Structures are given as C-alpha cells and as structure tokens.
Structure 1
Amino acid sequence: MTERISEAEQAVMEVLWEESPLTAQEVAERVPAERDWSANTVKTLLGRLLAKSIIGHEEDGRRYRYRPLVERADYVVGESRRFMDRLFGGKLTPLVAHLAERDAITDQDIAEIEALLKELKS
C-alpha cells in the first residue's frame, strides 16, 4: 500500500475487513457507536479510501457496495515497518529495549517472545 490512511479511515477499514462488501449505510451502522459519525461522515471517508485505491466498489441498484482492496495483514506489515523505520531506525531490538525499560513488557509478553524466537530459530 503506497498511501497512508488516517485513524478515521482505519476505523472504516476495520469494519470492511470484518465483513464486506457493505453499503455506506451498513458501514455506518457497524462503526463503533462512540465515534458518533453520521452516514455522511462515513461516505466522506469511503470516498477518500476509494481515491487512494484502498477500497473498491460495485454498483448494487442505486447504491454501492464497498470492499477492501488491501488485506489487513498487508496493512499491518506496512504500518509496522514505517513505525520501526521512523522511530527506531528500522531495527526491532531498540523497540523492544524501549518497551522493556518502561516496564511495558509483561512476563507473558516475554514468554511469547521467547517461544516465537525458538520457533524462528528452528
């Protein structure tokens, strides 16, 4: 994915990644209620995502049904890479060290990381 998406656009994408294709009204009904977005707000965000070629749409009578063109896993990989590049010079170790120094890593996290490292080594 070349274009970045905003936090608001990501909320719409989360809905579409969960279920698609959906109409704008269906997306609006599924966006978390605490956002308190109108259908017009959701339509604006869908328009932005269409312009970025992150979603596609197909006609269904007089309305459109929207679907993601980017898989969630691919989005996460790209965003993770950008985050590490921007804040930690593209290296994982300084990120983990940063979290560990601030007690942001639990014993459970450590056990999961150790298991992952064992799996990667074999």
Structure 2
Amino acid sequence: MAHVSISDAEWQVMNVVWEEQPLTSQEIVAQLADQADWAAATIKTMLHRLVKKKVLTFEQQGNRYVYRSCVRRADCVKQASRSFLQRVFESEPAPLLAHFMQTTKLSAEEIADLRRILDKKEAQK
C-alpha cells in the first residue's frame, strides 16, 4: 500500500465502509449523520476525497453510487501506527507501550492477552 494519510474524519467514514461494504452513499450518509452529526454534503466531500486518495472506489448503479474500500483496514492501521510511533515516540516502541500500560485501565483478560503476546514475541527471538 502506498503511503496515504487519512484524517480523523476520514477514518470515521472508512470504519463505516469497512464494516458493511459495499454501501451506497445514502447508506454511508445515514450512518454518519447519526454518529457524527455531519451534513450530507460534508460526508459526500469526504467520500470524494477518499476516492481521489485511492482509498475508496465506487461504481454507479443507476442514480446511486456504491462504495467499496480499495485498502484493507489492517494496512491502514499498520501505516497509521508506524506514523504515530515515529512522530510521537521517535520510532521507539518500548516507551509507547509503557505509556499505554501506565495510562490505560486494563482488565485482567487484556493483561493476560498482552502477556501472551509478549511471551510469543520473546519466544520468537
């Protein structure tokens, strides 16, 4: 995936599309109008921007536009995570993980999941 920067608002649009694609522009507008209280014109502008960025594709079916993602959510998450790690933590993962561990309330199950991930990572070395 080429480097594509997605704004916070565009993430909201993409999350709707990734959950239920393909979707018509009317379906996307209806879902986001409830979630974000945005005007239909604002949402359609974001859809157009995402198509220009080659994150979304569409096909016209009669007088409706049907949208699908061109990229996987996992690829966008990976890219955004790397960008955040670089900008905020100078590409050092340990301080990032320590920060989240210290500032986030975690359930016993989440802590156990994290231990399993770390144990697996350690075993791979």
What CA distance in whole angstroms lies between the structure 1 residues aligned with 2:94 and 2:42?
A: 40
Structure 2 residue 56 is the aligned partner of structure 1 residue 55: yes
Shift of 1:105: 5.3
Conserved 8 A contact 1:24-1:39: no
Structure 2 residue 69 is the aligned partner of structure 1 residue 68: yes
What CA distance in whole angstroms lies between the structure 1 residues aligned with 2:10 and 2:30?
A: 15
Instruction: Name the structure 2 match of 1:85.
Output: 86
C-alpha root-mean-square deviation of aligned residues, in Å?
1.8
What CA distance in whole angstroms lies between the structure 2 residues aligned with 1:31 and 1:106?
A: 29
Cα–Cα, structure 1 residues 103 and 47, in superposed 2: closer, same or farther, change >3 Å?
closer
Instruction: Name the structure 1 match of 2:106.
Output: 106
What CA distance in whole angstroms lies between the structure 1 residues aligned with 2:55 and 2:38?
A: 21
Shift of 1:20: 1.2
Please list every run of 5 or more consecutive structure 2 residues that lacks an aligned counterpart in the other structure.
none
Q: Normalization by structure 2: what TM-score?
A: 0.85
Please list every run of 5 or more consecutive structure 1 residues that lacks an aligned counterpart in the other structure.
none
Deviations 1:49-100 (A, max 9, x none): 0111110011101221111101101111001111111111212101122334
What CA distance in whole angstroms lies between the structure 1 residues aligned with 2:33 and 2:62?
A: 27
What CA distance in whole angstroms lies between the structure 2 residues aligned with 1:36 and 1:97?
A: 35
Aligned positions of 1:8-23 closer than 5 A: 8-23=9-24
Conserved 8 A contact 1:49-1:55: yes
What CA distance in whole angstroms lies between the structure 2 residues aligned with 1:77 and 1:47?
A: 23
